[in-house]
Amino acid sequence: MMKKRKLRTSIPQLSKVKAELQKEIGSVCPFCENNDVGHFQIHHIDEDPSNNEQNNLLFLCPTCHSKITKDDISKKDVIDKKLNLRNRNSKVQFISVSVDEENCSWRPIENVQNSFEAVKLKSLFPIFNFSLINNSDKTLLLTGIKLKTRRLPIGLAGPNVPLPNILRPSITYKIKMTLDGKTIETILKDELEVPSTRAFKFQIELYDDSMETFKPPFNKYALFFEFGFNNDFYTEIPMILLNSSEYYEELKYYSLA
C-alpha cells in the first residue's frame, strides 16, 4: 500500500486554536518554566503536519520544540504530557501507576514512565497500583474498567522512576487480558466509593488463561486503560508498556489522533 504523503496544511482558525492551546498549558511551556508565549510554537504530536486536530497539537517554547525534534524529549513524554493537560481539569485525575513488586514478578523499566518488565522470564501476572484523585465535589463510584491491548512487534525495546506508594490500595480487581486491538469493558461488581477531593488507590491484576502471555522478550504490549465513574464518564490513563520501553505508532489508541 502506498503511504499517503503528508502535507503541511494551515491550521484553520489559527488564532482561536492558539488561544485554546495556550489556555491548556496555563501560558507556561509544559516542559520548562518559559512563559514567553509570544514566541511559542505549535507541535504536531503525531508528526503529521496535516493533522490539525486539537488533540494532536501542543503549544510550547521553541527550545523544547527542538528538543522533541531531536528526540531529547521522547514522543511518549509528549503524549503523556498532553494527556495530563487534558485530564487536569477533569473530575478524576490520574496520578500514577506502579507495579506491586512484592506480590508480582514485575518491575519498572528505568527512565521510562509507566513501563514495566517481567523479571527473569517468570510469567506471573502483573499487578498494577493505580492512584487517582477525585477532584469533584461529590462522592464518585468506580463502576467499570475498559482495557484495550496492543501486541507490540518484537524488537521494540526503555525506563521509569518508581513513584512513591503513599496510599494503601483499597481493592484488587482481576481483569482479563484482551485480544489485540479489542476494547473490553469490565463492569465492576465491587464498586469503589471515592469521597470528594480525596486521592484513592486500587489494584488491577491482569491475568490470562495462558501463563505464557506475559513472558519477555517475545511478548510486549501496550495497554490503554480507561476508568469509568458513575456509569457516566471515563478517565483515560497514560499508556502502560509491558516488556517494552517504546511504542507510539498509533496515536488513535490514545484517542489523541
220-229 and 233-236: which strand pairing?
antiparallel
Let me know: does 43 contact 60? Beta carbons within 8 Å: yes
Nearer to Zn ion, 22 or 230 (CB): 22
Nearer to Zn ion, 14 or 32 (CB): 32
Nearer to Zn ion, 64 or 204 (CB): 64
Residue 84 beta carbon to Zn ion: minimum distance, rounded to whole angstroms: 16
Residue type, 72: D
Rounded CA-CA distance 149/240 in Å is 10
Residue 190 beta carbon to Zn ion: minimum distance, rounded to whole angstroms: 43
Nearer to Zn ion, 41 or 197 (CB): 41
Rounded CA-CA distance 224/239 in Å is 5
Residue 76 beta carbon to Zn ion: minimum distance, rounded to whole angstroms: 17
Residue 64 beta carbon to Zn ion: minimum distance, rounded to whole angstroms: 3
Let me know: does 97 contact 130? Beta carbons within 8 Å: yes
Nearer to Zn ion, 33 or 190 (CB): 33
- Assign 3-state DSSP to the chain and report helix, strand, coil percentages, each to 5: 15, 35, 50
Residue 62 beta carbon to Zn ion: minimum distance, rounded to whole angstroms: 8
Cell, residue 210: 495462558
Distance set, CA 42 to CA 61, 72, 91 (Å) = 9, 17, 27
Nearer to Zn ion, 32 or 211 (CB): 32
CA-nearest of 60, 66, 61 to 82 is: 60
Residue 15 beta carbon to Zn ion: minimum distance, rounded to whole angstroms: 21
In DSSP terms, 54 is beta-bridged to: none
Nearer to Zn ion, 77 or 101 (CB): 77
Dihedral over Cα of 25, 28, 33, 36: its sign: positive
Positions that interact with Zn ion (CB under 5 A) = 29, 31-32, 34, 61, 64
Residue 33 beta carbon to Zn ion: minimum distance, rounded to whole angstroms: 8
Rounded CA-CA distance 250/257 in Å is 8
